[in-house]
Amino acid sequence: MATLEVHIEEPVTFVIFGATGDLTRRKLVPALYTLFKEGALASDFTIIGFARRDYEGTKFCNLIAESLHEHSRTPVDEDSLQAFCSHLTYHRGDLSDAAAYAELKKKLADSALPANRLFYLSIMPHLIEPVMDQLKTAELITPPGTGPWTRVVVEKPFGRDMKSAQALNETLLKYLDETQIYRIDHYLGKETVQNILSFRFANTIFEPVFNRTYVDHIQITASETVGMESGRGAYYDEYGALRDMVANHLFQLVALAAMEAPEGLSARSIRNEKVKLLQALKLAPSTPEHPSVCFGQYSGNTDTKAFRDEDRVDPSSTTETFAALRMEISNWRWADVPVYLRTGKRMAKKSTEIVIQFKTPPLSLFQHVACKGDVCDLTGVKPNTLIFRIQPDEGIFLQVSAKRPSMQLVVESVNMDFSYSGRWEKALPEAYERLLLDAMRGDSTLFTRSDEVEAEWNVIDTVLAAAADTKPLPYTPGAWGPAEANALLLNGAQWRNE
């Protein structure tokens, strides 16, 4: 089997808080299993699963086996499974119960267990503070630079507005140094997202045209076809598309696509540039013809339920399942270049892509070519478009105009493609594999720093204020959101609905 070309030497004890939950079963355990099977983990790693339900003894291994059979991208064989299970133990207890931490401390004191500790908080946000308090009281957190390390991985959401994000940061920073905190935005673990920086800064030909002189607009779409199938209706009804997707994933994509070149590849340099970009990101002013915010909520049809009829969703919910924004970046490079963002559930296609739409050539030489029939449609030169396809069909596509073979001078838009599957046979690593590995080896480049999180919520607060009286517009399942989202676009721009 192909390896991940990496091996962690340092032994780690990995404690998963919320070990019986959906995220652990669907993402964390399969990622850890792949890392284990590919030889990326130190030989004496340990995983302790912490939750309330009774999975003690062999039951925990059975739960893990079930999760792996359902979700692992790496084939599961009995020998590897048993070997993997020999590294697992279950710790049954309530997260608010001090006695459970005293017991955990006893387990962790076992000299056979690696002294480096990675606490993975796969739990609801309201439990983070009590867990941190308990870990501190039980003296399970070692300060940085004093022998074996303690790191804490935190799952999104990192708040639901600026105030709560600041409160969460305060909670974490009360007992931890920023260097010990790993806030996961799993989009950053995707290969194609990391490639944005390589593409921009390992080549010379694109960077000179990444600016207001050449770029007409940027648009980022993260559309999903699913609704609330994953049983996350209650969570989603509380957070909605803006907080769930825009506040983190989409803003991170804007930051990577538009930030200045970092001085180096250290976590600090890259995050410094991202935060500068996020601080310059603003909601564009709204006009009656061109609003800058559009919210939608999917209705139902014969095949699918309306959002309001989904399990654990308020039947009179006004939560948006679609959000589109027109943003701007107030810096020298990007002034006056609209940045369009949209995301939603139950849309036409599952796709995440960043589109850099360049301006049309200054002279339209090809508009008056004699032609017949539908060939005429091809004579207008289309602007160049650079597309970073994050998922599916990961790759980078550049649309250019080329002469179509014919006796006439007819120009057609063609693609220059780079696709991962066409270039490399190896399956792309899952985002969680990369991120777990990075947290274990202490590389925080692909995690979000507290000032980035606050810069993101600062923008979201202005969107929430601007949209305070906005009710989401209905859209039919399988559409690209409400038609009203088209009004956000300026100067004849169109959403790329492909």
Q: Which of 151, 156, 345, 449 binds ligand NAP (CB under 6 A)?
A: 156
For residue 82, give both structure tokens: 């048993």
Query: In Å, what is the CA distance from 49 to each residue of 25, 132, 232, 472?
Result: 11, 17, 22, 40
CB nearer to ligand NAP: give 169 or 292.
169
Q: Is 123 in the site for ligand NAP (CB under 6 A)?
A: yes
- For residue 123, the minimal CB distance to ligand NAP (Å) is 5
CB nearer to ligand NAP: give 95 or 113.
95
CB nearer to ligand NAP: give 125 or 380.
125
- For residue 433, the minimal CB distance to ligand NAP (Å) is 16
Shortest-Cβ-distance residue relative to ligand NAP: 21
For residue 228, give both structure tokens: 């609330």
Radius of gyration over alpha carbons of the chain, in Å? 24
Please, are residues 175 and 135 in contact by the beta-carbon 8 Å criterion?
yes
Tell me 330's DSSP state.
-
- For residue 474, the minimal CB distance to ligand NAP (Å) is 26
- For residue 55, the minimal CB distance to ligand NAP (Å) is 8
C-beta neighbour count of 94 within 10 angstroms: 12
- State how beta strands 88-92 and 117-121 pair: unpaired
Q: Is 257 in the site for ligand NAP (CB under 6 A)?
A: no
CB nearer to ligand NAP: give 241 or 387.
241
3-state secondary structure of 437: helix
Q: Is 376 in the site for ligand NAP (CB under 6 A)?
A: no
Please give the single-letter amino acid code of residue 432: Y
CB nearer to ligand NAP: give 50 or 420.
50
CB nearer to ligand NAP: give 122 or 221.
122
Q: Which of residues 405-424 bind ligand NAP (CB under 6 A)?
A: none
The strand pairing partners of 419, in sequence order, are 395
Q: Is 249 in the site for ligand NAP (CB under 6 A)?
A: no
- State the burial class of residue 70 (Cβ atoms within 10 Å of its Cβ: 0-12, 13-18, 19+): exposed
- For residue 240, the minimal CB distance to ligand NAP (Å) is 13
3-state secondary structure of 301: coil
The DSSP code sequence of 458-482 is: HHHHHHHHHTTTPPPEEE-TTBSS-
Q: Where are the beta strands (DSSP E) in 299-338?
A: 322-329
Tell me 445's DSSP state.
T
Q: Is 124 in the site for ligand NAP (CB under 6 A)?
A: yes
**Considering only CA atoms, which of 362, 358, 339 is closest in space to residue 214?**
358
Using CB under 6 A as the binding criterion, the count of chain residues that bind ligand NAP stands at 20
Q: Is 336 in the site for ligand NAP (CB under 6 A)?
A: no
CB nearer to ligand NAP: give 54 or 263.
54
CB nearer to ligand NAP: give 20 or 169.
20
- For residue 165, the minimal CB distance to ligand NAP (Å) is 14
- For residue 100, the minimal CB distance to ligand NAP (Å) is 8
Q: Is 312 in the site for ligand NAP (CB under 6 A)?
A: no
- State the burial class of residue 463 (Cβ atoms within 10 Å of its Cβ: 0-12, 13-18, 19+): buried
3-state secondary structure of 469: coil
3-state secondary structure of 289: coil
* Span interacting with ligand NAP, options 121-129, 167-175, 254-262, 297-305, rule CB under 6 A: 121-129
Q: Which residue has the tokens 């301006």?
A: 359
Which residues are CB-contacts of 281 (< 8 A; sequence separation ≥ 6)?
A: 251, 254, 255, 327, 328, 329, 339, 455, 459
Q: Is 228 in the site for ligand NAP (CB under 6 A)?
A: no
Q: Is 234 in the site for ligand NAP (CB under 6 A)?
A: no
* Span interacting with ligand NAP, options 93-101, 301-309, 386-394, 404-412, rule CB under 6 A: 93-101
Q: Which of 35, 95, 222, 356 binds ligand NAP (CB under 6 A)?
A: 95
Catalytic residues: 249
The strand pairing partners of 287, in sequence order, are none
- For residue 310, the minimal CB distance to ligand NAP (Å) is 16
* Span interacting with ligand NAP, options 14-22, 141-149, 259-267, 479-487, rule CB under 6 A: 14-22
**Cα 126 to chain center, whole Å?**
21
Q: Which of residues 444-463 bind ligand NAP (CB under 6 A)?
A: none
3-state secondary structure of 326: strand
- For residue 369, the minimal CB distance to ligand NAP (Å) is 52
Tell me 479's DSSP state.
B
Q: Which of residues 15-74 bind ligand NAP (CB under 6 A)?
A: 18-24, 51-53
Q: Is 122 in the site for ligand NAP (CB under 6 A)?
A: yes
Q: Is 493 in the site for ligand NAP (CB under 6 A)?
A: no
Q: Which of 155, 320, 328, 456 binds ligand NAP (CB under 6 A)?
A: 155
- Distance (Å, rounded) from C-alpha 29 to C-alpha 60? 12
- Distance (Å, rounded) from C-alpha 456 to C-alpha 165? 10
CB nearer to ligand NAP: give 157 or 227.
157
Which residues are near ligand NAP by CB under 6 A? 18-24, 51-53, 94-96, 122-125, 155-157
